[in-house]
Amino acid sequence: MSAKRSAPTRVQPLKVGIIGTGIGRAHFNGYRKCPHVEVAAIVDIDADRGRQLAQEWGVRRAYSNHEDLLNIKDLDAVSVCTPNALHASIAMDALAAGLHVICEKPMAASVEQATELAAAAEQAATRGQLFMMALNNRYRGDTQLLKQYIDAGDLGDLYLGKCGWWRRQGIPGLGGWFTTKAMSGGGPLIDLGVHALDLCWWLMGAPDPVAVSASVFDHLGAGEWARRGSPGSFDIEDAAVAHIRFANDAAIILEVSWILHTAREGFFCEVMGTAGGGAIEPNFRIVRNLHGAPADVLPAAPKVPGHEGEIIHFVDCVRQGRQPLSGARDGLAVQKMLDAIYRSGSTGKPVTIT
């Protein structure tokens, strides 16, 4: 199949399809906020679920196979919201069909798949097509504002980032695709770590990673899976910590868990520089000194939820024919860091990233 579509003009409605209807619901809600965008069809391999949601959402067509969606003649774009191991093949099919693509995180279940998809996205870009990674945390009102402060130089040179997401008892879909490495590519590191790491790394100016030292743990999850008599499999980690060093001598410390005996839970991301720091959660604050004494600033950030912001950005980029803030290169770079963390964890040795 060949490229066939150029960026539509403002007067034409943009026709999109959603493949996978779990987090696909957040994409649908985002599209609903965009004027002149029609969700033309949804796809779910679970045909009953697809039909039911199409009815609930007021979408005319529901398919159980993404190829049927790609055959719709006047479709412009798709959201790829399937389990991780299917991202690359489905996104490449959509690109080959001449469509613009927004793909859920992580880019793929392995560096090999992500590399193949990045090459396809680069080729598609030469034909005027867009590939965007759905890294929703970049598109929140608070992270966008923090990035503006950083880019204006308010925090000086950023040299340390600390980020992560800790869950005490939060394994998703126990025994299903999330806990089956062949479908997910990994556990909390690739699921939650991708969010925290991407956000922290982007805020810090996306420096080139050079080395990783990590510990990856699997003490609790499989026991929990067995204790609950869950079906399927559990062959992924349940927690990880990593130190990533960058070419500019900056570093990020990443910590993630799905199950851990911890008193602390939640998402966190903090960046620290020569003139100040910035923390997104639990509270958005800029950390500064005034006349030598600590004096924090609590900015009133616009309340834009990330999922909504990312879809608005995707639609804008498609309409204006410009490349998105989170493209294939970023998706691949983060995937390589995650892969290096897994390798360092399994060998017990630092890993160099080239």
Ligand X SMILES: NC(=O)c1ccc[n+]([C@@H]2O[C@H](COP(=O)([O-])OP(=O)(O)OC[C@H]3O[C@@H](n4cnc5c(N)ncnc54)[C@H](O)[C@@H]3O)[C@@H](O)[C@H]2O)c1
Q: Using CB under 6 A, list all residues that contact ligand X.
A: 19-23, 43-46, 49, 66, 81-84, 86, 104-105, 134, 136, 173, 191
Q: How far is the CB of 173 from ligand X (least distance, A)?
A: 6
Number of residue whose CB is nearest ligand X: 22
Determine the Cα–Cα distance for residues 38 and 1; give it in Å rounded to an integer. 24
Q: How far is the CB of 183 from ligand X (least distance, A)?
A: 9
Q: Toward ligand X, which CB reaches closer, 44 or 270? A: 44
Q: How far is the CB of 182 from ligand X (least distance, A)?
A: 13
Measured CA distances, 266 to 6, 154, 256, 306 (Å)? 42, 27, 10, 17
Q: How far is the CB of 209 from ligand X (least distance, A)?
A: 21
First to last CA, the chain: 34
Q: How far is the CB of 48 from ligand X (least distance, A)?
A: 10
Q: Which two tokens stand for residue 135?
A: 């890294």
Q: Toward ligand X, which CB reaches closer, 78 or 241? A: 78
- Closest to 205 (Cα-Cα) out of 170, 247, 163: 247
| DSSP per position, 38-50 | EEEEEE-SSHHHH
User: How does DSSP classify residue 305?
Assistant: -
Helix/strand/coil percent split, the chain, to 5: 40, 25, 35
Q: Toward ligand X, which CB reaches closer, 45 or 220? A: 45
Helices then strands, counting H and E runs in the chain, come out as: 12, 15
Q: Toward ligand X, which CB reaches closer, 102 or 286? A: 102
